[in-house]
Structures are given as structure tokens and as C-alpha cells.
Chains A and B, each alone.
Chain A
Amino acid sequence: DGGITQSPKYLFRKEGQNVTLSCEQNLNHDAMYWYRQDPGQGLRLIYYSQIVNDFQKGDIAEGYSVSREKKESFPLTVTSAQKNPTAFYLCASRGMADRGLYTQYFGPGTRLTVL
């Protein structure tokens, strides 16, 4: 089946540690995105990548880093510099909806908790 996978589903981290969240897609989509979602808030864009070996900061990139070495993979590292990392992290890739419109499709998410 084609789709987007994220791992792990739940992640616990101690303060001061860096952690890397995995995102893989086999949809052959060029563009991929990382969002975070906090309770009662909308999705906020962290980083995005339009093509392999290229990525841009989103609205809240501070304390995060990404890489895009392969089309299928877009891992996100949450560094110790991120002041409030506890959140639900969602990866997405861009594909066609209908009538030629493009939109984004999401993976199941990783719930990160900092202890």
C-alpha cells in the first residue's frame, strides 16, 4: 500500500537530548512537510522540502533541523534548543486531490513528550 509512515508513534525524551523523528513515503511525492500541533491550536509549519537536497524553514523552525537526502525520507531532529518540544508532530507530503488541485496528505504522527 502507498502511504506515509512515521515512527515512533510515541517518544519520550529527557530535557537536553536531541531526538530524530522518522518520516517515510512511498507515494513518489516531491514535496514533504513537518508540522507540530499543540492542544487547542492549529497546525504550524516547521520545515518543508520541495525536492531532494533542498529544504526551507517554515514558521517555527527554531530548535529543529531536517535533511532530505532521499525523495522518500524527510527526518526531523528536535534539538535541545527547542524550548517547548512536547507536541504532536505530523509529517505530510504533497499530492493531487481532485480537478488538478494539490494538497497535503499526512502520516499518523509522532507524539513527543519531554520529561
Chain B
Amino acid sequence: RKEVEQDPGPFNVPEGATVAFNCTYSNSASQSFFWYRQDCRKEPKLLMSVYSSGNEDGRFTAQLNRASQYISLLIRDSKLSDSATYLCVVRLYGSSNTGKLIFGQGTTLQVKP
């Protein structure tokens, strides 16, 4: 079983749609959670952190459910510019992990006009 699992998609949605991505993680030592965005042939860029209390940044909302080991990202009013691959990222703590990041394979979003 992969440590961080995402539905690879692609998710094809029309402009203005609301789309949700899910991610599950297996390591209970996971302590910090993030969503990154990666455009085609570019580096990943931090989109937002994820907290148990939720985190909202404009059209983007991230949620964490520690009991279920589940992370989500909701994008409202999708724009063409939202087309990218979204990476779910988990940071492990502990002396043996040294803050290692575990990356999901990514979920591809294609927003159509």
C-alpha cells in the first residue's frame, strides 16, 4: 500500500465547476499536511497547508480528518488557470524521519472552457 494515495484522474471539468480531490495516508506518524500544485514540466509549488480546523484561501479549501487519515482539497468556481496536477504531501516527524516529505502521485485537473 502506498503511503500517500490519490486518484490520478484526470478530472475534466467545465469552467465554473466545483471539484474535490481526496487523499489518504497510511502512516500515523504523519504530522503536517500540504497541497502542492505542479504545472506541466515545472516544479511543484506550495498551494496551501492543511489543518484539522480547515484552511481556506480564496476559492480553495483544504480539510484534514486525522481519525480517517484523509485529506481533501475543494476548488470552487474553477478557472482555466487551475489546470494542473495537485500533489498531496505529508510530512513525517520523529528522529528516524527527519522531517521527510511523502508525495502522492498527484491528481490531474483539466478545466475546459
Could you mark each residue 77-113 of chain A with 1 if its beta carbon is under 8 Å from any beta carbon of chain B, else 0?
A: 0000000000010100010011101111111110100
Size class of B's contact patch? 20 to 34
Task: Indicate if B98 sits at the interface (CB-CB under 8 A).
Answer: yes
Could you mark each residue 43-58 of chain B with 1 if its beta carbon is under 8 Å from any beta carbon of chain A, else 0?
A: 1111001010000000
**B44 close to A43 (CB less than 8 A):** yes
Interface of A is mostly: strand
Assembled-state Cα–Cα distance A88/B40 (Å): 12
**B43 close to A106 (CB less than 8 A):** yes
**B44 close to A103 (CB less than 8 A):** no
Could you mark each residue 90-113 of chain B with 1 if its beta carbon is under 8 Å from any beta carbon of chain A, else 0?
A: 010000001111011110000000
Chain B interface (Cβ within 8 Å of chain A)?
A: 4, 8, 32, 34, 41-46, 49, 51, 87, 89, 91, 98-101, 103-106
